[in-house]
Amino acid sequence: MTYDPSLRVLTVLELLQAREEVTGAELAQRLEVSPRTVQRYVARLQDLGIPVEGRRGVGGAYRLRPGFRLPPMMFTPDEALSLSLGLLALRLLGLSQLAPAAGAAQAKLARTLPQTLRETVNALEGAVQLDASPWVVRTDARLLTDVLRAVRERRQVGLTYTSVQGQGTQRVVDLYRAVHLDGRWYAVGWCHLRAERRSFRLDRIGELEVLESAFTPPADFDALAFLRASLPATPATHAVSVWLGASPEALRAQVSLWGTALRAESGGTRFEGQRDNLTSFAAFLLGLGVPLRVDHPPELREEFRALGQRCAVLAGPAMPPTMVYDPVSSAP
C-alpha cells in the first residue's frame, strides 16, 4: 500500500490512540518503512506537541502518555449522520475500490465521536439499507483520483479513449469537471484532438497521465448541463404510459430512469417515458413479473399480442432440434 508522508504520520497517531502500546517493528511493517523512518515520524508527532513515549532496545515500543487523548471531533447529530450516510453511499457511485477506505473512515469517525453519537453511527450500517442501481458502472477509483487532481490543479491530461465503436484514440484534454450521471462517471473538458468541448466516460478511458502543461478553465461552466445536452438522444418515437402493480421504490432498481418518470398511482406506479423499440419494451415489461395495464400507445398492445402468439408457439409441442422458431414465417 502507498502512503504519503503526512498520511504515515497520521497513521502512527491513529495506531497509538487505538492501542496501549505499539512496537517499532509493527509500525515499520504497517507503514512499509524502516524502523529509523518510524523514529522520524514519532519525532514529528512530538514536535506537534503529541506526548509520544518510547522504550528503546530489543522489542522497543511506543505509546501515548497515559491519560492523553485528542479531544473528540465536534459534530452535531445531523453532521455525524450526514458523514456516515455519505460514506455508506460511496458504494452506489461505482467506486467499489474505496469500500475498505470508507469502512476505515467510518470506524475512525465512530471512535472520535462522543458516546451518544458514537452509538448512532455504529448502528447506522445495520439500520440502513441502500440499494445500488443496476445501471451503475464500476469505475476505477485511482483513475477518478487522477481526474480530480487534474481538475483541481488545472493541468492537461493525456489519455487513451475507446469510442462506442471500439476505436481507440490518443487525446490531450483540458479537464473542467468530473460528473456522475445516470450511474456513470464522466470527465468533461476541451479535447484538443477534436478542437471542441467533449465528455469522456471514465470506464472507456485507458491510460491517463496528468501533464505539466496548465490551462485556464472557462468561468461559470456548467458541466452537468453540458453533459445532459451533449449525450446522444435516443431516437424515441413512442410516448409510453403504463400502469404497473408495484411501488416506485421497488421499480427504481429495475427501470432505467433516463427519460422516464415514475409516480405512485392507485396502489402501483404510473410509468411514463419515451421508447423507440416497443417489441423489446413489451418483453421487458413482462420480465418485471408484476401486474400491468397499457394505456398508451395502442401499438404497444399489438406488440403484446404478437409476443403472446410467439410464446404460444414456443410453449406448444416440442419442435425437432433442427427447427428454429422464425417470427416472420410464423406471423398470421
Question: Predicted confidence band at 2 (pLDDT cuts at 50, 70, 90)?
Answer: very low
Give the per-residue pLDDT at 132: 61
Give the per-residue pLDDT at 151: 94
Give the per-residue pLDDT at 327: 42
Q: How far apart are CA 71 and CA 48, in angstroms?
A: 15
Give the per-residue pLDDT at 257: 64
Strands 205-214 and 196-201: unpaired
Pull the grid cell for residue 132. 445500488
Give the per-residue pLDDT at 73: 60
In the 8-state DSSP scheme, what is residue 298? H
In the 8-state DSSP scheme, what is residue 254? T
CATH of domain 141-230: 2.30.30.520
Q: Quick check: 241 and 271 in contact, CB under 8 A? A: yes
The tens digit of pLDDT for each residue in 26-67 reads: 888 888 888 888 888 888 888 888 888 887 655 678 888 887
Give the per-residue pLDDT at 4: 58
Residues 5-64, CATH architecture = Orthogonal Bundle (1.10)
pLDDT above 90 as % of the chain = 26
213-216 — which CB contacts under 8 Å span 24+ positions?
213/155, 213/156, 214/153, 214/154, 214/155, 214/156, 215/154, 215/155, 215/156, 215/174, 215/190, 216/154
Give the per-residue pLDDT at 307: 87
> Which one, of 295, 296, 300, 291, lies nearest residue 268 by Cα?
291
Q: How far apart are CA 124 and CA 260, in angstroms?
A: 32
Across 107-121, 169-183, 220-234, the highest mean pLDDT is recorded for 169-183
Residue 241 has pLDDT above 80, yes or no: yes
Mean pLDDT of the chain: 81
Q: Which residues contact 320 (CB under 8 A, 6 or more apart)?
A: none
In the 8-state DSSP scheme, what is residue 3? -
Q: How far apart are CA 272 and CA 242, in angstroms?
A: 7
The tens digit of pLDDT for each residue in 287-309 reads: 888 999 999 999 999 999 888 88
Give the per-residue pLDDT at 135: 58
Q: 5-18 and 35-47 helices cross at what angle (nearest 10)?
A: 80
H/E segment holding residue 89: helix 77-89
Give the per-residue pLDDT at 1: 43
Residue 323 has pLDDT above 70, yes or no: no
Residue 166 has pLDDT above 90, yes or no: no
Q: What is the mean pLDDT of residues 19-30?
A: 85
CATH of domain 238-314: 3.30.70.250
Give the per-residue pLDDT at 228: 85
Q: Which residues pair with 275 in a beta bridge?
A: 238
Residue 85 has pLDDT above 50, yes or no: yes
30 compared with 237, residue with greater pLDDT: 30
H/E segment holding residue 170: strand 168-181
69 burial type by CB count under 10 A (0-12 exposed, 13-18 middle, 19+ buried): exposed
- Full-model pTM: 0.51
Give the per-residue pLDDT at 82: 83
Q: How far apart are CA 329 and CA 310, in angstroms?
A: 11
Question: Predicted confidence band at 319 (pLDDT cuts at 50, 70, 90)?
Answer: low
Q: Quick check: 295 and 241 in contact, CB under 8 A? A: yes
Residue 322 has pLDDT above 90, yes or no: no
Q: Which residues contact 299 (CB under 8 A, 6 or more apart)?
A: 238, 278
